[in-house]
């Protein structure tokens, strides 16, 4: 330290500066507006850092917009709403700790989260143990409204089975019945494949082969070599996020898309934006899309979001927006914040068209608390148009309750507190 | 089946070459300075992002040339500021400091470029497969192997025939004596660090062409690099090269039979190598 | 030597004034914690991770052996405990016992294999094992839940002499329960370090060759220290599973081992209590800063850099130097 050419403060100075910076208050999440004690508090746990950061950011943006609008219209049960956002850092332990912080420290009235399925399950359990209402915006594992369902948990985004039921037959009709599966080797991928295989079986198709790629695989060449050798009609890509980006990039680089059709189930605008134009291919399912001619409320919503973020809203934005409005609407309707009463009231609750923003009715199914929301089947396209983000051509919209398996098949058994 | 195995073997070599490139830079820094550079992945990611930003102005080739140099320049700023103070101390402190740096890199990149993944477009001539049967051998992958081969050759030439290379090699062996012989150790370490970071930046540009560009890119690639170094043996650059190729190839082969184990097999290989030969394949005796 | 806690390497007296202050602080925590806006889950987590870091330091700071794969035993403890409560018997003590046994036995077996490696090679081979366990936990999803994690269990109240200690619903009671077990663990480690066994380990840390010439069986002593370290790490893991009522494969991944090493180095490897302080800093700082800004990673990263630059032996090590003059 003595020979350094660069100025370095002494240790004592650094210590003093650190102490002067002050003991940060123990638990004051950063979105807390100075509204004081008598507010309704919504806690949102999402992975703002880590591989899902882009998705989480969009979800939170949607929720923020909704909360602003709700406050402008008078809030919830006459009180203003505070949105408290915490970063789960894509780790279940951190997510649970943040949930505890929000529930015990900040006394939130409702919990939202998480993009990461395993964290969504952990949050659902924690919220249930503490009797707090929990709405999952974008965590897809079927168990959330399936075998691990709780009276206190509701979900906005689709289940993997809903997605495959919506797109399966379309792929078979358009492309053929011999499929090769490229599946991410975790619960999400597995359930997607189960669903697609079920759809394939219904039309009498065959499975040409399966490649289970570990989550986070960067190089798919080995799997694509297998896929090519199997000579299927279509290669069904069942993964998410960075895995989808890498697999599609490589499929196109290898020229596989010239001989074999590409399709899959869940797809997101964030993924298509991350791809070079030539790799924006395939038939997929979106859970919500921003270009919907003739559907009430969509254009307004798109305009508002564009103004705030310079980008179109994605399905994730809509998830966050819908979660916040779901809570506000049901609480105002029932004139209470009691979790059990609201949970009962949410069963069968239909979203008003200006929130649902889809051509079909969207409602929470009573038996499993799953939102019966539409699925948008269509094709990715390379050219995003004047705004750069119109990357999906919607072919048809399937109503949620038509695509969803019967509640009895989900494995959900709800038990209520006595 | 044999065709499948052969293809995957070949492909594994390509991936192994990439791991080797990353690991070589890490190894250079570790060997001479005893610093465990956990922020190597951060430099790699930065290299990729710089290429993305520069590409619209100077094209892919220009970015390939310039981005690693810029990254190395940043490395040369960080070395005297932060890394220099770690020399001679327990390597665990370099771990903690570079770990902190890695955090700053990831967050900084996410703040500047946003969390949304970004696409780096590769020139069309490279984006084609070389032949119909060998469709997975895209021009880009062959190009990557060519770059790594060129780098390895270049490194060999530098280390063998230049003064700097001689000093680095001698310094890896016995830094004290080299210093006593009148070589400016500070400059030597600075240049060595810069060279290592240059390789990281280069690997980043190559990675960005093949993979999606995310702020978390470097973090996912750092552990295989360490494994490559250990498998090959500390202190040995040829060992690092072999280590990288070995784990890439093994990973590729295992993918044929048990894909889910393709990540785990890297660690199994390391475990087996260490249990059978505790200092790595080409590691030097007594070098810890 | 006046026996203070910052005297190194260990407190000479059990009831030194600093120690009393620490225990008073920890025992009285529930009284004022909520008033300052805190919450139980985080301080309990600090205790648990502090125990794990101290267990790691038993190996690192006091035997001179670095492990980068301690997540394996933490995770085994967590899964062992969770699986027991979920599938075998809804009993907290049994869960903890099984978790500790699984982690310790695994540690003993693995330790025997790797004990002749040294330095960074040893550290890396420990990673190899923990990655294999990660792979198993991830793939065996019928039992472990795979990447969805292991849920569906809760810590059960403890029945003792006719009284029921409701650690399930009462977070304060659970905090004291954890404090008790951590105290026992820390106390045991302290006693061990004071024993001839501990002195042998210190000798190995200082100069292995000389220790060997003195007739010490190096490999056996390292193995013993390793097993002890793994044992207490798995205890911490079991408690962690009870804290969250959840276990997930990430607890077995090398990044978690890295967190433990960071905590140890941060607080000070050469001091007994350093890792506990390191855990407190790591957890609380991260929790607080991440609530205030999305860019918490830059602040925490900067903090690590500053600690290494200005506190050459960790935060507690700094205090040690000060006292020594």
Percentage helix, strand, coil, to 5, in chain A? 45, 20, 40
In whole angstroms, what is the distance from residue A88 CA to residue B220 CA?
19
Q: Which of A286, A309, A340 is the last residue of a domain?
A: A286
Backbone angles phi, psi at C239, to 5 degrees: -65, -35
Say yes or no: A368 and A352 in one domain.
Answer: yes
pLDDT band at A10 (very low <50, low <70, confident <90, very high): low
**Both A230 and A324 in a single domain?**
no
* Same domain? A152 vs A35: yes
C172 has a chain A CB within 8 A of its CB: no
Instruction: Note the ipTM here.
Output: 0.89
Q: Report yes or no: C296 at the A interface, CB cutoff 8 Å.
A: yes
By three-state DSSP, how is residue B170 classified?
helix
Give the other-Cβ count within 10 Å of A303's Cβ: 12
Q: Mean pLDDT for chain A?
A: 90
- Of B100, B118, B94, give the one whose Cα is nearest residue B42: B100
User: Does residue C31 fall inside a structural domain?
Assistant: no
Environment class of B232 (CB within 10 Å of its CB; exposed 0-12, middle 13-18, buried 19+): buried
My answer on whether A126 and A264 are in the same domain is no
Element (H, E) at B223: helix B217-232
At B265, give phi and psi (nearest 5°): -60, -30
State whether A255 and A273 are in the same domain.
yes
Residues A229 and A321 in one domain: no
Residues forming beta bridges with residue A47, ordered by sequence position: none
pLDDT tens digits, residue range B177-230? 888 888 888 899 999 999 999 999 999 999 888 887 889 888 888 889 999 999
Are A36 and A142 part of one and the same domain? Answer: yes
How many of the other CB atoms lie within 10 Å of CB of C3?
15
On whether both A144 and A55 belong to a single domain, the answer is: yes
Statement to judge: residues A166 and A154 lie in one domain: no
Residue A285 backbone dihedrals phi, psi, to 5 degrees: -115, 130
Using a CB-CB distance cutoff of 8 angstroms, which residues of chain A are in contact with residue B262? 214, 217, 222
Hey, which chains touch C, using 3+ CB pairs under 8 Å?
A, B
Query: Does residue A18 have a pLDDT over 70?
Result: no
With respect to residue A311, please indicate whether it lies within any of the assigned structural domains: yes
Burial level of C231, CB count in 10 A (0-12/13-18/19+)?
Answer: buried
Q: Same domain for A148 and A46?
A: yes
C250 to chain A, any CB pair closer than 8 A? The answer is yes
From the centroid of its chain, how far is CA A373?
13
Boundary residue ending a domain (A286, A310, A339)? A286
- Around A279, how many Cα atoms within 13 Å sit in the side-chain half-sphere? 28
Whole domain around residue A43: which residue ranges?
A: 29-158+287-373
When pLDDT is cut at 50, 70 and 90, the band that residue B121 belongs to is confident
Question: Residue A107: inside a domain, yes or no?
Answer: yes
Q: What is the mean pLDDT of residues B94-111?
A: 93
**Residue ranges of chain C whose pLDDT lies below 50:** 1-8, 324-325
Residues A304 and A282 in one domain: no
Domain count, chain C: 1
Residue C88 sits at the vertex; the CA angle it makes with C104 and C226, to the nearest 5 degrees, is 5
Taking the C-alpha atoms of residue B263 and residue C120, their distance in angstroms, rounded to an integer, is: 21
Cα–Cα dist C187/C183, whole Å: 6
Distance CA C133, CA C154 (A): 23
Q: Assess if residue C305 is contained within a domain.
A: no
- Number of compact structural domains in chain A: 2
Contacting residues of B for C127, CB less than 8 Å apart: 223, 267, 270
More confident residue, B198 or A18: B198
pLDDT in tens, C208-259: 888 888 888 888 999 999 999 999 999 999 999 999 999 989 999 999 999 9
A222 contacts B256? CB cut-off 8 A: yes
Residues B233-251 have a mean pLDDT of 90
How are beta strands A363-364 and A371-372 bridged, if at all?
antiparallel
Other Cβ atoms closer than 10 A to C180: 10
Instruction: Please report, for the domain that includes residue A180, its CATH number.
Output: 3.40.50.2300
Output the furthest CA–CA distance in chain C (Å, rounded): 59
Classify residue C199: in a domain, yes or no: yes
Q: A249, B212: Cβ pair inside 8 Å?
A: yes
Closest CB to A242 among B106, B117, B221: B117
Confirm whether C24 is domain-assigned. Answer: no
Sheet holding A40-46, edge to edge: A81-87, A40-46, A110-112, A133-136, A153-155
- Report in angstroms the alpha-carbon separations of A185 from A180, A190, C146, C214: 15, 7, 10, 53
First to last CA, chain B: 42
Cβ pair A242, B217 in contact under 8 A: no
Of A339, A356, A373, the last residue of a domain is A373
Residue-wise pLDDT for A200-229, tens only, equals 999 999 999 999 888 888 888 888 888 988
Torsion of CA C291, C295, C296, C300, to 10 degrees: -170
- The answer to whether the CB atoms of B11 and A213 lie below 8 A apart is no
Helices C119-139 and C92-114: angle between axes, nearest 10 degrees: 140
Rounded average pLDDT over A130-145:
95
Q: Apex CA A49: angle with CA A45 and CA A51, to 5°?
A: 110
Inside any domain, residue C321: no
Residue C129 lies in a domain: yes
> Is C225 among the domain residues?
yes
Cβ atoms of C86 and C155 within 8 Å: the answer is: no
CB within 8 Å: B7 and A225: yes
Q: Which of B130-134, B254-258, B270-274, C77-81 has the highest mean pLDDT?
A: C77-81
d(Cα B110, Cα A53) in Å, to the nearest integer?
9
Tell me, what DSSP letter sits at residue C85? I
Q: Are strands A375-380 and C158-160 parallel, antiparallel or unpaired?
A: unpaired
Query: Which residue range forms the structural domain that includes residue C99?
Result: 39-255
In terms of CA atoms, which chain B residue is nearest residue A222?
A: B8
Q: Is C69 helix (H, G, I), strand (E, B) or coil?
A: coil
CB of C178 closer than 8 Å to CB of C239 = yes
A178-184 and A206-213 beta bridge pairing = parallel
Residues A153 and A49 in one domain: yes
């Amino acid at each position: 330290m003595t020979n350094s050419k660069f100025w370095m403060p002494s240790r004592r100075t650094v210590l003093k500066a650190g102490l002067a910076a002050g003991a940060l208050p123990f638990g004051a999440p950063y979105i807390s507006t100075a509204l004081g004690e008598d507010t309704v508090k919504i806690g949102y746990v999402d992975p703002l850092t880590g591989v899902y950061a882009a998705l989480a950011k969009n979800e939170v943006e949607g929720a923020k917009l909704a909360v602003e609008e709700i406050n402008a219209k008078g809030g919830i049960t006459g009180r203003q709403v505070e949105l408290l956002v915490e970063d789960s850092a894509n780790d279940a332990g951190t997510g649970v700790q943040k949930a505890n912080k929000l529930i015990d420290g900040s006394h939130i009235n409702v919990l939202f989260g998480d993009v990461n399925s395993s964290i969504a399950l952990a949050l659902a359990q924690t919220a249930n143990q503490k009797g707090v209402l929990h709405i999952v915006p974008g965590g897809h594992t079927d168990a959330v409204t399936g075998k691990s369902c709780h009276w206190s948990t509701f979900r906005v985004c689709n289940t993997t089975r809903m997605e495959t039921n919506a797109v399966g037959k379309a792929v078979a009709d358009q492309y053929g019945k011999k499929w090769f599966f490229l599946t991410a080797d975790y619960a999400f991928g597995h359930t997607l494949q189960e669903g697609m295989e079920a759809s394939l079986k219904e039309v009498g198709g065959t499975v040409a082969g399966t490649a289970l790629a570990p989550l986070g695989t960067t190089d798919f060449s080995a799997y694509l070599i297998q896929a090519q050798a199997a000579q299927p009609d279509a290669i069904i890509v069942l993964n998410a996020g960075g895995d989808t980006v890498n697999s599609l990039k490589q499929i196109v680089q290898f020229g596989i898309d010239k001989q074999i059709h590409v399709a899959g189930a869940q797809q997101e605008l964030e993924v298509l934006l991350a791809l070079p134009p030539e790799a924006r291919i395939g038939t997929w399912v979106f859970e919500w899309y921003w270009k919907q001619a003739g559907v009430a409320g969509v254009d307004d919503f798109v305009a508002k979001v564009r103004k705030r973020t310079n980008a179109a809203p994605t399905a994730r934005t809509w998830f966050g927006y819908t979660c916040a409005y779901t809570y506000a609407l049901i609480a105002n309707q029932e004139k209470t914040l009691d979790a059990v009463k609201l949970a009962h009231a949410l069963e069968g609750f239909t979203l008003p068209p200006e929130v649902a923003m889809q051509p079909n009715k969207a409602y929470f199914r009573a038996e499993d608390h799953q939102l019966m929301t539409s699925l948008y089947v269509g094709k990715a396209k390379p050219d995003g148009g004047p705004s750069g983000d119109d990357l999906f051509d919607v072919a048809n919209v399937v109503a949620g309750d038509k695509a969803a398996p019967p509640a009895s098949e989900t494995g959900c058994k709800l038990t209520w507190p006595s | 089946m044999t065709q499948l195995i052969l293809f995957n073997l070949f492909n594994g070599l390509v991936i192994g070459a990439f791991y080797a490139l990353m690991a070589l830079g890490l190894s250079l820094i570790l060997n001479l300075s005893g610093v465990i550079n956990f922020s190597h992945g951060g430099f790699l990611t930065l290299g990729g992002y710089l290429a993305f930003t520069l590409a619209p102005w100077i094209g892919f080739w220009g970015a390939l040339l310039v981005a690693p140099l810029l990254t190395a320049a940043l490395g040369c700023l960080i070395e005297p500021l932060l890394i220099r103070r770690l020399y001679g101390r327990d390597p665990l402190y370099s771990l903690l400091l570079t770990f902190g740096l890695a955090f700053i890199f990831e967050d900084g990149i996410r703040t500047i470029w946003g969390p949304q993944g970004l696409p780096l477009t590769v020139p069309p001539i490279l984006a084609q497969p070389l032949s119909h049967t060998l469709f997975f051998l895209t021009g880009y992958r062959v190009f990557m192997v060519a770059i790594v081969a060129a780098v390895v050759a270049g490194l060999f030439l530098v280390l063998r025939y230049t003064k700097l290379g001689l000093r680095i090699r001698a310094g890896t062996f016995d830094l004290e004596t080299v210093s006593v012989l009148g070589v400016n150790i500070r400059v030597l370490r600075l240049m060595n660090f810069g060279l290592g970071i240059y390789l990281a930046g280069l690997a980043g540009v190559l990675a960005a062409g093949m993979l999606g560009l995310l702020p978390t890119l470097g973090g996912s690639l750092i552990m295989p690099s360490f494994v490559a170094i250990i498998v090959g043996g500390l202190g040995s650059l040829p060992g690092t090269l072999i280590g990288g190729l070995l784990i890439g190839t093994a990973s590729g082969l295992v993918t044929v039979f048990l894909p889910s184990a393709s990540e785990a097999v890297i660690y199994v290989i390391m475990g087996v190598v260490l249990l059978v030969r505790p200092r790595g394949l080409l590691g030097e005796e007594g070098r810890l | 030597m006046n026996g203070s806690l910052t005297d190194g390497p260990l407190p000479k007296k059990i009831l030194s004034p600093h120690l009393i202050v620490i225990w008073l602080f920890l025992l009285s925590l529930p009284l004022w914690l909520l008033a300052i806006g805190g919450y139980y889950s985080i301080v309990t987590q600090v205790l648990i991770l502090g125990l794990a870091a101290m267990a790691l330091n038993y190996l690192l700071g006091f035997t001179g052996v670095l492990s980068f794969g301690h997540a394996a035993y933490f995770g085994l403890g967590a899964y062992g405990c969770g699986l027991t409560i979920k599938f075998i018997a809804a009993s907290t003590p049994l869960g903890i016992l099984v978790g500790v046994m699984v982690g310790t036995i695994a540690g003993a077996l693995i330790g025997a294999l790797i004990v002749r490696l040294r330095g960074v090679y040893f550290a890396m081979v420990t990673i190899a094992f923990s990655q294999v366990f990660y792979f198993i936990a991830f793939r065996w999803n019928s039992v472990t839940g795979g990447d969805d994690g292991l849920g569906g269990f809760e810590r059960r109240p403890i029945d003792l002499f006719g009284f029921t200690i409701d650690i399930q619903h009462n977070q304060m009671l659970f905090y004291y329960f954890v404090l008790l077990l951590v105290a026992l663990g820390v106390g045991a480690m302290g006693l061990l370090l004071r024993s001839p066994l501990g002195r042998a380990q210190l000798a190995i840390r200082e100069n292995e060759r000389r220790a060997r010439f003195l007739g010490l069986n190096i490999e056996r002593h390292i193995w013993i220290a390793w097993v002890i370290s793994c044992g207490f790490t798995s205890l911490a893991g079991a408690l962690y599973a009870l804290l969250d009522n959840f276990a997930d494969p990430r607890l077995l991944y090398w990044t978690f081992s890295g967190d433990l090493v960071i905590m140890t180095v941060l607080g000070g490897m050469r001091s007994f209590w350093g890792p506990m302080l390191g855990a407190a800093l790591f957890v609380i700082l991260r929790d607080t800063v991440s609530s205030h800004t999305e860019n918490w990673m830059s602040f925490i990263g900067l903090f690590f850099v500053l600690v290494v630059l200005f506190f050459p032996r960790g935060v507690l090590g700094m205090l040690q130097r000060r006292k020594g003059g």
